[in-house]
Structure 1
Amino acid sequence: MAHNDGNGKVHYVGDSRVRVREKKLLPKDYSEFPGKTEAFFPNFLLKEWMVAVVVLVGFMALVMAEEPPLGEQADPTNTGFLPVPDWYFLFLYELLKFKWASGPFVVLGTVVIPGLMAGGLVLAPWLDRGKERRPMKRPTATGIALLTLVAIVVLTWVAWDEHEKQLAAQPKGSSEDAKIVDPQNPAYEIYKNNACVNCHGQKLEGLQGPALTGIGGAYTPEQIIDIMDKGKGQMPAGMFQGNEQEKRQLAEWLADQYPPKEKESEQ
């Protein structure tokens, strides 16, 4: 409001009925609320995008620098082929080898446990609503996360190690090399008269199970006996129906199944 005092001077006076707006129409800075909240856009989202870009660039650099490994060419006649899932599913693949997660309990290993893991990740923001963000102050959440990470790493390593051993037990070289060593041995008759032949083939070539030609060196007789007694992978325990002497004889014969070229080189 302007007021003229008669001398040609104009005085500006305030009107007490008009409130002075001192409050800024801008969102408060995050520093005013430490540990409580932050603007999702653009503060939080921008940081997430920056991390995603760094990860993506690093991933693409690895892809371009290292050629991805490829398996053998698909061959429907290769009965000894050992299929395995991608590396990020290896821990679930190994999980299904446990008795309590396979067979009649396969639903537990294929639906219940993966479902609990996926559901826990989805419900984490609602289940863990504490304001504390330091790992040492959140023992439950930190413990579950570490336990899950260790379980995934260990199961993945065990699955890959077993797969490497199975590959080592596969016949090497050409089909001429993959022959039965000492077919006149009585252990071969013991093998053919047992259920082993149904999965591993009449000539150890592998049908539903892995091939046994060239298995020598991958397992000792004691390890083969242990597999006969306890089973392994899809092979159930107690498949061998002979006595202990026949079991030992068969295990020693299988442990001597080296490809001819390998056996000659060792001698």
Structure 2
Amino acid sequence: MAHNSDGNEKQVHYVGDSRVKAKKEKLYPKDYSEFPGKTEAFFPNFLLKEWMVAVVVMVGFMALVMAHEPPLGELADPTNTSFLPVPDWYFLFLYELLKFEWASGPFVVIGTVVVPGVMFGALMLVPWLDRSKERRPFKRPVTTGLMMLSLISIVILTWAAEDEHQKQLASLPRGADENTEIVAVEDPGFEIYKNNACVNCHGQELEGLQGPSLRGIGDGYTEDELFDIIDHGKGTMPAGMFQGTEEEKKVLVDWLLKQTTGEEKKEGQSDH
């Protein structure tokens, strides 16, 4: 720093000195405080802009929805016990959440109201809960951590729900084979079958109605496996459907084992 004759200070500039570091621009976004007077209020200015963008996106989305015919399934049938209801993909994480003991049954309010309410409520309150001027994610560990935790949880729950649904679909038995005939129609086991709840789902001719076909079932199951299915259920079939005695159950199983296609039974085969 130097002084001239009138006493005023005069700035001295050093040129070409390698010891003086050149001033470089920051490589990260500037802090909000570096834009004085150029910010805007979240409500209503910023929020109004976001709503306008949301409206444009919604209009485009609805145009696509109306342009493509939705893939409809079968007609609604309350007696169809083989139907597996599944929500749309964006609600699969909540669908999976309700399968946990602490979020279902007597605690279903936690899974349907409390948890979603906390999640979406926190999302709406973010502008007021996080008032940090920092824009870099690693400088806002709490907010960034919560967001990453939410995203990871939604992805994992969605994947778990879809994976379980695909396994349930794979476990459903195949439909009836029209070319396979009923064996031993005069057998007492056939009468026991028709006089029980089995006929409501599997049909009078074992053709399969709401449940799978039983034609050729003797090729796919052993005696012990049939007893286990009758006692404990399988897939969408609940336990305790058979209301007869143990002797009648044994006669029914023996008759079901006779329902074969005449082909050699494959070892370890467990579906029909």
Counterpart among 99, 105, 109 of residue 97 in structure 1: 99
Over residues 71-110 of structure 1, what are the superposed CA-to-partner deviations in whole Å (9 max), with x where a residue is unaligned?
2221122111111223332111101222343345444323
TM-score for the superposition, normalised by structure 2: 0.53
**Aligned twin of 1:258:** 271
Q: Is 2:92–2:162's contact at 8 Å kept on the other side of the alignment?
A: yes
Counterpart among 139, 142, 166 of residue 141 in structure 2: 139
Letter in 1 for 2:88: D
- Is 1:86 the counterpart of 2:85? The answer is no
Counterpart among 37, 42, 54 of residue 40 in structure 2: 37
Paired residues, what number?
177
Partners of 2:80 and 2:117 in 1: how far apart? Answer: 35
Q: Is 1:181–1:257's contact at 8 Å kept on the other side of the alignment?
A: no
Counterpart among 203, 219, 222 of residue 185 in structure 1: 222
Partners of 1:182 and 1:62 in 2: how far apart? Answer: 49
Partners of 2:99 and 2:63 in 1: how far apart? Answer: 35
Partners of 1:39 and 1:143 in 2: how far apart? Answer: 23
Structure 1 unmatched runs, 5+: 1-30, 210-252, 260-267
Letter in 1 for 2:156: V
Letter in 2 for 1:256: Q
Partners of 2:126 and 2:76 in 1: how far apart? Answer: 42
- Give the RMSD, CA atoms, in angstroms: 3.4
**Aligned twin of 1:224:** none
Partners of 2:42 and 2:153 in 1: how far apart? Answer: 36
**Aligned twin of 2:31:** none
**Aligned twin of 2:189:** none
Letter in 1 for 2:161: A
Change (3 A) 1:66 1:155: farther
Partners of 2:122 and 2:46 in 1: how far apart? Answer: 23
- Is 1:55 the counterpart of 2:68? The answer is no
- Is 1:77 the counterpart of 2:79? The answer is yes
Change (3 A) 1:78 1:56: same
CA shift for structure 1 position 61:
4.3
Change (3 A) 1:164 1:33: same
CA shift for structure 1 position 161:
2.0
Over residues 107-133 of structure 1, what are the superposed CA-to-partner deviations in whole Å (9 max), with x where a residue is unaligned?
432333223213312332332122334
Q: Is 1:90–1:155's contact at 8 Å kept on the other side of the alignment?
A: yes
**Aligned twin of 2:21:** none
Partners of 2:152 and 2:138 in 1: how far apart? Answer: 18
CA shift for structure 1 position 159:
0.8
Q: Is 1:79–1:208's contact at 8 Å kept on the other side of the alignment?
A: no
Q: Is 2:40–2:46's contact at 8 Å kept on the other side of the alignment?
A: no
**Aligned twin of 1:213:** none
The secondary structure found in structure 1 opposite 2:134 is coil
Q: Is 1:95–1:109's contact at 8 Å kept on the other side of the alignment?
A: yes
* Structure 1 runs, 4 residues or longer, greater than 4 Å off: 38-41
Q: Is 2:174–2:271's contact at 8 Å kept on the other side of the alignment?
A: no
Q: Is 2:98–2:112's contact at 8 Å kept on the other side of the alignment?
A: yes
Counterpart among 93, 111, 114 of residue 112 in structure 1: 114
Partners of 2:170 and 2:113 in 1: how far apart? Answer: 32
The secondary structure found in structure 1 opposite 2:269 is coil
CA shift for structure 1 position 137:
2.7
